Amino acid sequence: MNWDVIIVGAGLAGLTCGLELSLKGNKVLVLEANPVVGGRCSNWNDAGMEVESGFHRYIGYFSALPALLKKAGVDINDILTWEEKIDVLIKGKKKKLVLGISPVHGVLKMIRGITGNQDVLTIKDKLSLIPFSLNGYKDFLLNPKKLDQYSVKEYAGLHNVTDNAFDYLLVPLSSGSYFLPADRYSAYVFFGLFAPAFYKFYKMRIGAFSGGMTDVMCQPIADQIIELGGAVQIGEKVTDVILNEKGEVAGVKGENRKEYRSKQVVVAASLAGAKQVLARFKEKAEFSNLFRLPINPASTFQIDLNQPALETDITSFGPKTALASFAEQSRTTFRDCKGRLSIILDSPDKFLSTTAEDALKIVIEDAKALGVHLEGKIEDYRKIDHPEDIYSLAPGNHFLRPGQATTIPGLTLAGDYTKQPYFSTMEGAVVSGQKAAAIVTKALQRKAKAPG
């Protein structure tokens, strides 16, 4: 069939673009290499165990994502359980730092977090964060390229942040969020991730999904595209784009050599996938930054237990251990499990080459050091590896991100790695998809008005 638009990738960026274009009456085909939609926001059954692509949380200041879901008939409040605090567990000390994160919905928790926790963070530790924060947000606004040359560790050292404040607050908020050590994590990204919380402070809190993200979020978007006359085809890996005699992109080729024709193509695959699909353009100057942009790996560990590992399902961090961030999800995402511990592993490079059995031994020991005892409770487990997960958030990479528009007629990009106000987040993926849809809409309108 000939389509108005073919979208490569059914992650949030591709699904967003597909829904926005379908709502405008375009005939859309979304092609996805994996057996489920969702990309990095997906869940599936792995040989009898329900797993997800990684441990994810929704940030309360997101606005584009809930608006998109509403178009697919999903109310964000129906698929989330809200949290107003986070825990930072201290290795070997049987202590934890409890931080309120919601100035409106959990104001007392936030006040207690600032004034309390003296056994972990002293007044001196807390005060040392003030010049770091004030200068960081000033540089984020006025000197972004300069700030992007510093790692979080370097910038903390520049402003004399104490060791305790660095280890138990800045490390969890950097490596605990994006599994990249603080000495390799861009200070620009660190401040940029939290910058929207300033003008949307009243929305700030964290949401745990009440089910796998394919099930509760991504599949409903795909279903809406289909209902509007489009198609979503899974298990079809795109290997190349098709050019016509004018040098315009006129479709794509599948791994089985099947050709799909269209007026416009949006490459909304992951950065690694986009580099493969667009390999023919590698030597073109406008794509140089895309092919230079490094990719960071990720590794997560998911454990089914015969009882909950933690008293509550709350976002937790384990600095100085392999448990960068984790949560007990049997009360939210995996309610059919008696207990379910989902973990983002610190230093994913190391865990990619580690067997699941050896990784489990490390997880058990490090969890024990944090006061979480797993011995005798484990029923099943999986290590989910992503050798090429997200674009690297290391210093110097932010300004390599390409825009959605290209000079190749008929070709547009989407994905959280493309330029938009957010980083590697669900919100960023949605915004990129919306930007791509706007570009494609204008291109289709121009083509419709063109003579002949």
Phi, psi of 258 (to 5 degrees): -70, 140
Is-same-fold flag (2-61+210-294+394-449; 295-391)?
Answer: no
| pLDDT, position 119 | 86
Burial of 373 (0-12, 13-18, 19+ CB in 10 A): exposed
What pLDDT does 353 receive?
A: 94
pLDDT at 257: 82
Residue with tokens 């290590």: 383
pLDDT in tens, 154-207: 999 999 999 999 999 999 999 888 889 999 999 999 999 988 888 888 888 999
Sort 448 into a burial class: Cβ within 10 Å, 0-12 / 13-18 / 19+. exposed
Q: What pLDDT was estimated at residue 452?
A: 60
Q: How far apart are CA 438 and CA 334, in angstroms?
A: 37
Show me where the domains of the chain are located: 2-61+210-294+394-449, 106-202, 295-391
CATH code for 295-391?
3.90.660.10
Q: Are 6 and 265 a contacting pair, CB within 8 Å?
A: yes
pLDDT in tens, 293-304: 999 999 999 999
Superfamily of domain 2-61+210-294+394-449 in CATH is FAD/NAD(P)-binding domain (3.50.50.60)
Low-confidence ranges of the chain (pLDDT < 50): none
State the residue for tokens 């990479």: 397
